[in-house]
Amino acid sequence: MPSVPASNWIKVTSDGLHVVPGGFTIDPVRPVERAVITHGHGDHARGGNKTVLATAETLGIMRERFGPNSGTQTAAYDEPITVGDVRVTFVPAGHVLGSAQILLEYGGTRVVVSGDYKRRRDPTCPPFVVTPCDVFITEATFALPVFCHPDDHGEIGRLLQSLKLFPERTHLVGAYALGKAQRVIMLLRELGYDAPLYLHGAMLGLCEMYQRFGVDLGDLRLVSSTKPADLVGQIVLCPPGALADRWSRRMHEPVSAMASGWMRIRQRAKQRGVELPLVISDHADWNELLQTVREVKPGEVWITHGREEALAHALGTMGVPAKALSLVGYEDENDDDLTGATPPGTAA
C-alpha cells in the first residue's frame, strides 16, 4: 500500500499545525475544538480549547496558568492513542517538565512534531528520545552557528564564583518561570549549594508543581516574606522581566544575572543590562539541531519557528530536503522578554 505524503494530511492554518484525519491542531495559537499540546510554555499552550490532549505534567501546568480545563485527556509517554484516524504517541522532548514530541502515524507515514527540545541532560525532566520518521518537524530557536551552549555546570559555577567574590551583594537571577528556573535550582543543588533559594512570587506556583511531580528543589522561600537585609549574599530567582523592574530595587546592590541561551550574544546581554550572563538554554544549540536530524534520519524536515533560513540552508547542504513552515505566533520565549523590556540606551 503506497503511503500518504504528510503534506496531504498536515496543513499549516492560521490556528497552527492542523492534522486533518485526526481533527486536531498541535499547539494552536487560537482556541480550537481539539488541541494537542507539546508543552506548557505560553506560546505553545494557550487557554480556551474545547478539548486538550497532553501529558499529565503539561495539563497540570496549564491548570496552574489558565485554571481548570474541562475535556482534558492525559497522554503517557510512549503509549499510542488513536485520535480520529491518526495514531498519536507522546515521546519525551527533554525541554521542560512534561514536554513531548508528538509522533503521528497515518496512511503509512510517520511524522514527528518536536515542539521545543534540547539534547543536554536536565535533572528536571526525562531526556529527548530519538524517534525515526519520514518527516521531522523541528524548532529552530538557536539555529545559527554562533549558538553553541557551554556546559551548564560551568555556567552555574560562574554564578557561585561571583557569589564568593561579592558576598555583600544579592545575586538576582532572571530565569523563565517554567523550566529554566527549576533547572537552575537543581543545577545549584547538584553543585552542593544547599542554602535556601529565594523566589519572586510569580515562580512559586510552578516550583511547587515541580515538587509535586517529584522534582526535589530543596529549601525555597519567598522574597516577599524575607527582610531585605537577609537577602544579602543570597541567590534570588525572578522572571526575566522583573530584573529591570521596580521589584528588584528592594535588593541591595544586586548583581543581575540572567540564564538564557541568548546570553551567548554580548550585545543582547548588554541590552538587558545584565551584569552576569549565564548561557543556559532549554533548546538545542546549532550543532545539536544538526546532530538530531542526522540521528532521526527523516526523509524531509519542516521548520516551525526560529531562524528557519539558516537551518534550511544547512540541511540542504547535508542533502536533507527542508522547508520553513512560517508558522506565526511562536515567540522565542526569552526573545519575547528582550524586545518587551528596556530598550538600549539610545537617547541622544
Partner 1 sequence: MKAFAALLDHLIYQPSRNGKLRLLADYFATTPDPDRGYGLAALTGTLDIPHAKPAMLRDLIMARVDPALFAYSYDYVGDLAETIALMWPSASENVEPAPRLGEIVAKLKATPKAAIPAVIAGWLDGLDATARWALLKVLTGGLRIGVSARLAKTALAQWGNLDIADIEELWHGHAPPYTEIFAWAEKRGPKPAAMAANTFRPFMLSHAIEDHEFAALEPAEFVAEWKWDGIRVQVAGSILGQARLFARSGDDISHTFPDVVGAARFDAVLDGELLVRGTGTNPASFGDLQQRLNRKTVTRKMLESYPAFVRVYDILFVEGEDLRALPWTERRKRLEAFMANVPPQFDLSPVVDFKTWDELTTIRASSRGAGMEGLMLKRRDAAYTGGRPKGPWFKWKRDPLTVDAVLMYAQRGHGKRSSFYSDYTFGVWSADDLVPIGKAYFGFTDAELKQIDSWVRNNTTERFGPVRAVAPGLVLEVAFDAAQKSSRHKSGIALRFPRVSRIRWDKPAAEADNLENVAKLVE
Exactly one of 16, 27, 28, 41 binds Zn ion (CB under 5 A); that residue is: 41
Amino acid at 5: P
Residue 277, binding choice from Zn ion, partner 1, none, Cβ under 5 to 8 Å by partner class:
partner 1
Cell digits for 84? 480520529
Q: Least distance (Å) from partner 1 to the CB of residue 259?
A: 15
Give the burial string for 303-322 (b: 16+ CB within 10 Å, else e): bbbbbbebbbebbeeeebeb
User: What mask, x for binding partner 1 by CB under 8 A, covers residues 96 to 135?
Assistant: ----------------------------------------
- Binding segment for Zn ion (CB under 5 A), chosen from 8-16, 116-124, 130-138, 249-257, is 116-124
Residue 116's binding partner out of partner 1, Zn ion, none, with CB under 5 to 8 Å set by partner kind: Zn ion
Q: Which of 31, 145, 167, 196 binds partner 1 (CB under 8 A)?
A: 145
Q: What are all long-range contacts of 76-82, with beta carbons under 8 Å and residues at least 24 apart?
A: 77/126, 80/105, 81/53
- The contact pattern for partner 1, residues 305-324, with x = CB under 8 A and - = no contact, is --x-xx--xx--x-------
Residue 158 and residue 219: Cα distance in Å, rounded? Answer: 22
Of 307, 345, 299, the residue nearest 324 (C-alpha): 307
Q: Which grid cell sits at 78?
A: 510512549
- Pull the grid cell for residue 264: 551567548
* Residue 57 interacts with Zn ion (CB under 5 A): yes or no: no
| Residue listed under C-alpha cell 543582547 | 268
Nearest residue (CB) to partner 1, 75 versus 144: 144
Could you say which of 18, 264, 283, 305 contacts partner 1 (CB under 8 A)? 264
Identify which range of 19-27, 29-37, 211-219, 271-279 contacts partner 1 by CB under 8 A: 271-279
Q: Is 345 in the site for partner 1 (CB under 8 A)?
A: yes
Q: Which does 41 bind (CB under 5 to 8 A by kind): partner 1, Zn ion, none?
A: Zn ion
Beta-carbon contacts of 197 under 8 Å, excluding residues fewer than 6 positions away, are 185, 188, 217, 218, 219, 220, 221, 234, 235, 236, 237
Contact status: 265 vs partner 1 (CB under 8 A):
yes
Here the cell at position 327 is: 508558522
Q: What is the DSSP letter of 185?
A: H
Asked if residue 212 binds partner 1 (CB under 8 A), the reply is: no
- For 255, the enclosing helix (H) or strand (E) is strand 255-259
Min dist. Cβ of residue 164 to Zn ion (A):
33
Q: What's the grid cell of residue 152?
A: 551548564
Query: Could you list the residues that contact partner 1 (CB under 8 A)?
Result: 144-148, 264-271, 273-277, 307, 309-310, 313-314, 317, 338-339, 342-348
